[in-house]
Structures are given as structure tokens and as C-alpha cells.
Amino acid sequence: MTWVEELRAREAVFRRAPSAHNTQPWLLSYAADEVRIGVDPARSLPVSDPTGRDLELGLGAFVESCLVVAADAGLAVDAVSDGPRAVRLVAVDAVYRTVFSAADLDGRRVARGSYVPGPVPQDVLADLESGLVHLPAQELAADLAAADRWMFGTRGSVDELREWLRLRPGHPRYDRDGLTDRALALSRVEARLLDAALRSLAVTCRLGVPALLAASGRGLLRGDGSVLVLTGRAEEDRVAAGRRLLRTWLVLARHGLAVHPLSQLIDCPATADRVRQRVRAGGGGEVEPLAVFRAGRPRAEPVRSARLPVGG
């Protein structure tokens, strides 16, 4: 078997990489001595991710996953840029140096339910790469409510979210992609209410539904938990930042901690500004917040999210 064939045989493992709304927009093209990774525009989020920030972070996370899987299999592979939002995996002399394994990728998951109280311990924070800023969750609780209201009140974003929601097990794409009721930690009743509210948002906007939907997220940051912000310099390649993001989530997972991204905090212009100020005041210097997530020990085992079948 060539290295490309060996890597291809492990595609289901590197496809466990995270992507915003679980769109999994990766296009893979296997050649004799390289693998090209591109992005399917039909699976991007042009309204909710207009600058492609999350797309590029996700691409980075995907590339890092490929390299971890290659290293785990003893294959000497590295990634090179192949133009905007395109990466090539090529053969090199040495196996990629990583502390992570295919099992780490398989075990990682986002957890949106409640967490055991308490901040991320200092020894865990010390294990993380530089470029992460720790903020006490409570400090962001009011901003999360404002960002949620903004998100649920923005028609285009809601339409896009609806496209990727799979709120009942009978949904034809329930086991393939998108965000399921279970992944969102919703009860059957909550899933039905969310479905109904989003369906008639145009009418219900006037009745304050965005505020109601936003209220459901208010409790998330109430306790003494932690929010971590991945930061980068304005000129930094966001694919490289996405590779850092995945490594961060894997370090946390090794300590038994899960993450719950709250991208709306940096999508909503008003709250994005305040997050930027907090990060800079917290010693971040002239950096930009690229990803925001709460981190902690989930009270219940998080669900395994859906993935497209390999080759399907």
C-alpha cells in the first residue's frame, strides 16, 4: 500500500474533525503521491460566517486531524498551503511530531449541556499552547445573552441554522451531518419548541421570540466556570490558527474536559468589540479573538456527533 492508500483507509478517523454547524465541507482528492483538501462552497455558511473565519479554522482543525492520523500510522506526511482555503498533504522525511493519537481524535467531542462547577484548573491551563486567554465565565454572561438575541433576531443566520438543524430522529440527514437535538442537549419538548419557533420567526420576531430563545442560553455562563479565547495576530493564517484550536481541544479532552464554542460572542459586532477589549486587557496585546468556547467537565457523557459516510 502507498502512504496515500494507508491514509485513505483511515479517513473515517480524521473526518471526526469538528466543523461549524457540523457542515463537514471538506473535499478530498487522492492522487498517487499527494492528497488535496479543498472546501465545498455548498457546505459553507456565507451568512453566519461571512468572512470565512470559522471555515478556515475548521480547515485547520481538519488538516491537524489528518496529520495526527498519519503520524499515528507511522506515515511521514506534512501539510502545505495550496492557495486560499486549500491544502495539500505531501510525503516528507520525518513523521509529524505530535503527542496525540487517532484515539484522541475519536474521543474528542463538543458538550453543550451543563458542566461541573469550577474553573479550568491551573495545571490544565499551563498545558495549553500560548495564544489562549482565560476569562471567568460570569463576566461574559450578559454578553452571551446579547449575542444570542442578535443571532436569533438575524433572519439570514436563522435560515442558515435551520438548514443544518436535525431536531428529530426521523430527519433524513440525522446520522450524516448538521446539529441534532441530542448534540444540542435539547429535550424532546425543547427541540419541538425550537423547531416551531424558528419556522415562524418572521411572525414571532415581533412577539419577542429571539429574546426567549436567547434566554435559554443565559444560564450557561452563570457559574464560576471558564471561557477560553483563542487569539491570533491580525496577519496570522487562520488555517494555522485552526490547527492550534484542535490541539487545544485535544489537550483539554486528555484532561477529561470538553468545550462548547460560543462563536456568536465574536460574530455579534457589539459583543465582539467587548470580547476584544477583555482579551487585550487580559494581557493578549494587539490580538484578535478567533474562537470563544466554554470549557469544563461535562456532567453527562456528550453525544457523538454525526458524520458523512466515507466515500458517500
60 binds ligand FMN (CB under 6 A): no
104 binds ligand FMN (CB under 6 A): no
Q: Is 89 exposed, middle or buried (0-12, 13-18, 19+ CB in 10 A)?
A: buried
Q: Using the minimum distance from each CB to ligand FMN, give the nearer residue, 4 or 151.
A: 151
Among 4, 13, 20, 194, binds ligand FMN (CB under 6 A): 20
283: DSSP letter: I
225 binds ligand FMN (CB under 6 A): no
Give the footprint of ligand FMN on residues 183-202 (CB under 6 A). 183
Say which residue the cell 484542535 belongs to.
246
Per-residue CA distances from 107 to 4, 30, 266, 290, 306 (Å): 24, 26, 27, 24, 14
Among 10, 112, 243, 294, binds ligand FMN (CB under 6 A): 112
Site string for ligand FMN, 113-152 (x = CB under 6 A): ----------------------------------------
The enclosing H or E element of 89 equals strand 87-91
231 binds ligand FMN (CB under 6 A): no
Give the footprint of ligand FMN on residues 246-275 (CB under 6 A). 261-264
- Give least dist CB 281 to ligand FMN, A: 23
Pick from 96, 28, 91: which is nearest to 62 by CA? 28
Among 10, 15, 21, 166, binds ligand FMN (CB under 6 A): 21
- Give least dist CB 235 to ligand FMN, A: 19
Among 4, 45, 61, 165, binds ligand FMN (CB under 6 A): 61
Q: Using the minimum distance from each CB to ligand FMN, give the nearer residue, 20 or 75.
A: 20
Q: Using the minimum distance from each CB to ligand FMN, give the nearer residue, 10 or 21.
A: 21
Pick from 20, 277, 2: which is nearest to 161 by CA? 20
Question: Which DSSP string corresponds to 216-230?
Answer: HTGGGGSSS-EEEEE
Among 26, 37, 54, 131, binds ligand FMN (CB under 6 A): 54
- Give least dist CB 76 to ligand FMN, A: 27
Per-residue CA distances from 130 to 2, 127, 239 (Å): 36, 9, 17
d(CA 63, CA 48): 23
CA dihedral 79, 293, 167, 256 (to 10 degrees): 80
Q: Using the minimum distance from each CB to ligand FMN, give the nearer residue, 71 or 111.
A: 111
Q: Is 83 exposed, middle or buried (0-12, 13-18, 19+ CB in 10 A)?
A: exposed
- Give least dist CB 176 to ligand FMN, A: 12
130: DSSP letter: S
Query: Are 137 and 117 spatial neighbours (Cβ–Cβ below 8 Å)?
Result: no
From 51-59, 142-150, 195-203, 232-240, give the range in contact with ligand FMN by CB under 6 A.
51-59
| Residues in binding contact with ligand FMN, number by CB under 6 A | 20
Q: Using the minimum distance from each CB to ligand FMN, give the nearer residue, 69 or 291.
A: 291
Query: Are 162 and 194 spatial neighbours (Cβ–Cβ below 8 Å)?
Result: no
* Strand, helix or coil for residue 153: coil
- Give least dist CB 119 to ligand FMN, A: 20
Q: Note the residues at the interface with ligand FMN (CB under 6 A).
A: 18-22, 54, 57-58, 61, 109-110, 112, 179, 183, 261-264, 291, 305
